Amino acid sequence: MKHTYHIHGMTCNGCRSHVEKTLSEVSGVSKASVNLEKAEATIEMDSHIPLETFQKALEEDGGNYSIHNQGEHQHTKEEKAPKPKGKGTGTFYCPMHCEGDKTYNQPGDCPVCGMDLVEEQNLSTLNSEQWTCPMHPEIIKDEAGACPKCGMDLVPLEADSSAEEKAYKKLLKKFKIAIAFTLPIFLIAMSEMLTNNPLYDIMEQKYWNWIQFALSIPVVFYATWMFFERAYKSIKTWNLNMFTLIGMGAGVAWLFSVFGMFFPNVFPTQFKTESGAVHVYFEAATVILTLVLLGQLLEARAHSKTNSAVKELLKLAPNKAVKIIDGEEIEVSIDKIALNDILKVKPGDKIPVDGVITEGETTIDESMITGEPIPVNKSQDDKVSSGTINGNQSFLMKAEKVGSDTLLSQIIHMVNDASRSRAPIQNLADKVSGFFVPVVVLISVITCIVWAIWGPEPVYVYAFVNAIAVLIIACPCALGLATPMSVMVGVGKGAQNGVLIKNAEALEKMDKVDTLIVDKTGTITEGKPTVETIGAFGADFNEKEVLQYMVSLNTNSEHPLAEATVKYGKEHQVEILKSDNFSAITGKGVEAIINDKKVALGNPKMMEYAKADITSKMEAKAKSYQKEGKTVSYLSLGETVIGYVVIGDKIKETSAKAIKELQSNGIEVIMLTGDNYDTAQAVAAELNLADFKASMLPENKLKEVEKLQEKGKVVAMAGDGINDAPALAKSDIGIAMGTGTSVAIESAMITLVKGDLHGIVKAKNLSHAVMRNIKKNLFFALIYNTLGVPIAAGVLFPFFGILLSPMIAALAMSFSSVSVIANALRLRTIKI
């Protein structure tokens, strides 16, 4: 039988796989598949299973999802929990990405691994400045002024702490309390090692045990109680994790001690001291828990550094701007800027939004977005981006993109999404983590049995202590953090250098790339073509008439070559003729009806499409320019070619150096262009490119990518136009020039903000560094656990007499996760 149900509560791919796994494990289900987009589950079963059975399974798994018959569930908008007060975003995620890219709207613990959720950073953390009354704090205004109640001047409202800061301060407070109570317990316990213990002159050992018990209560039931809550939740949902092991190890030690105090006669003499009191382990339990708390505290501080790149980007966004209203300069909040507003940017100010300069010229420091340190000269009609810094001259600009549409906002959004994505290499850690905790618990039990049978006296004490050490030293979190931490830091590093990574998979694949396909216009060249010559064929038309037809036709086109022609026409004050039935033929050219005549402009394929013949004389004329690397487009009127335009596009200064560097790294570079063979050959010769193909239509580029992939090549494709989008999407790694079209950027996995080939060198170096860092992290985590667990079990004792105290095991466990994060943070200092 096969039934389809509606699933409510799924928000990401992690949810989908989680629901699919839960439903598949229901008795009688042969197969379950879940579709996230449709919010549907298709379940195949041997015989009918009541809907209530599936609902019960989902409830027992945590109750985050519900199942319904199709059409029965009302698709009401889920009410989100109120956003935590403060300057945070109210968006939280698990640092180990246990449920993929799933986010939560309030702080807490990850339902799978139990770790503290981390707050996402984005531009919404920059609240616009607000004002309040010192006498009436309930009064909050968006601008300065007088209090409507008492007339006092309003003062700036101080921003509240972010959730990240609050979580750290809360942990710090608990750690201080844990230290305050654990230290005396530790000193009392260690005093037993003194021959004439002065504490026993004050009172007997059993009474000191009661003092240790009393001191341990605040540590266990307040400072570190969250570890036991997480352990209980992990066992209840069977998402076994680090806290399962900590809860079991420290919990057993503490309960054993309490039981020993209340019922000493139950225990054999092996567990008793000379005074007859049962040997207690309050110091082991509390020290273990306090050290784990220290690890959590260090992790919280380290986590805040992993997304430091985003925080640095956030600092670039100003919260004020100068708006020109009726000729007056008025300072406004950044969220009060609307499209087409005219803004004034003064020397040294940060540019508030994306736009275009309407008056003035200046130099702008774009290093924070492109990674290039040299300021860029800007004048009228040049684009400027939010967050970049103005030089020493004022200018006026028109706002073209505001709020979340600005480049800075999109970069931050892309970095956040990429940081939460999962790299394929993480599957290894996931597989190991799946059976890690049960195996460790089994080893702990075996350790206890082996020591109890073959260990020296007191056998049960050795068995008990070593079993706890095994539980405490194991650290599945180090394994789980190995990949996401490196990805997060690496993606941030890329953003600071103008390399935007769409997801973690792109980082991993980029390291394996051996073939790079590059487009010519806008990728190798500057993409700012200029008209060099207008020519006419025959005596029926002159150059001015040819230019008039070209400009009239191109006013409807957004192609860079068309824009260059229109700009040239305006400079020569050409009168624009009315055109009808405009059509753009991808990879060929454009056509329209002008003065009741069919006019076409484009390459030879366009002329063939328009049924206009190019004579050998015309072709020879064009080739003389094409051999110099120029682009030649023909103009036809009806079925007659009447003129041509010669357009030059300068090769970017960085292209030759970048191609040489890529080739020296063993990457084969191939140029594919829609331009003719002669132009392509001239460019290839200048760049020492052995492999190129000309006159390539979008479908040709796509087929070329497929051919290379069939040969086993890992192909990266770099382009900037709509015609590159199919090949970008098909390639293993699509690389878009940030100066290109939004379609190309959307199709790509990596975007280069500055839009030059040197960015590909950066992306390659970055991916190599990140993958090497991930492998080091995974190696350390695997080796740590592979060696740590047997040592804790006591394998060195028969040979060297070495045993590992549970407290030393706790210290090692706490610092294993921190060391993985610290290694990932090293990526912040690499040069790409």
Coil, helix or strand for 792? Answer: helix
Going by the DSSP 8-state scheme, the letter that residue 739 receives in this structure is: T
Active-site residue 519, yes or no? Answer: yes
10 Å CB burial of residue 454 (0-12, 13-18, 19+) is exposed
The dihedral through the CA atoms of 435, 440, 445, 449 has a sign that is positive
CA 41 – CA 23 distance, rounded (Å): 9
727, 720, 722, 709: which is closest to 751 by C-alpha?
A: 720
For every residue of 625-677, DSSP letters joined together read HHTTT-EEEEEEETTEEEEEEEEE-PBPHHHHHHHHHHHHTT-EEEEE-SS-H
Q: 543-581 as b/e, with b when 16 or more CB fall inside 10 Å?
A: eebbbbbbbbbbbebebbbbebbbebbeeeebeeeebee
- Tokens at 228, concatenated: 């036991």
CA 279 – CA 205 distance, rounded (Å): 10
CB 654 within 8 Å of CB 756: yes
Phi-psi region of 607 (alpha: psi -120 to 50; beta: other; left: phi over 0): alpha
Coil, helix or strand for 544? Answer: helix
Distances from the Cα of 397 to the Cαs of 329, 359, 386, 390, in angstroms? Answer: 13, 7, 12, 12
For every residue of 442-495, DSSP letters joined together read HHHHHHHHHHHHHSPSSHHHHHHHHHHHHHHH--HHHHHHHHHHHHHHHHHHHH
Listing from the earlier edge strand, what are the strands of the sheet with 499-501? 499-501, 750-752, 733-737, 715-719, 515-518, 668-672, 691-693
Q: Which of 101, 519, 720, 732 is catalytic?
A: 519
Q: 586-596 as b/e, with b when 16 or more CB fall inside 10 Å?
A: ebbbbbbebee
> Strands 668-672 and 691-693: what pairing?
parallel
Listing from the earlier edge strand, what are the strands of the sheet with 354-359? 328-333, 320-325, 342-345, 395-401, 354-359, 383-384
Amino acid at 647: I
CA 722 – CA 712 distance, rounded (Å): 27
> Strands 395-401 and 342-345: what pairing?
antiparallel
CB 738 within 8 Å of CB 745: yes
- Tokens at 602, concatenated: 């484009």
Residue position matching structure tokens 């942990």: 171
Distances from the Cα of 137 to the Cαs of 105, 134, 152, 760, in angstroms? Answer: 27, 6, 12, 53
Would you call the peptide bond into 438 cis, given omega within 30 degrees of 0 as the criterion? no
323, 316, 301: which is closest to 125 by C-alpha?
A: 316
The DSSP bridge partners found for residue 42 are 4, 33
Contacts of 85 (CB under 8 A, 6+ apart): 160
Per residue, the 3-state secondary structure of 298-335, as one string, reads HHHHHHHHHCHHHHHHHHHCCCEEEEEECCEEEEEEHH
The dihedral through the CA atoms of 103, 109, 113, 119 has a sign that is positive
Could you list the active site residues? 519
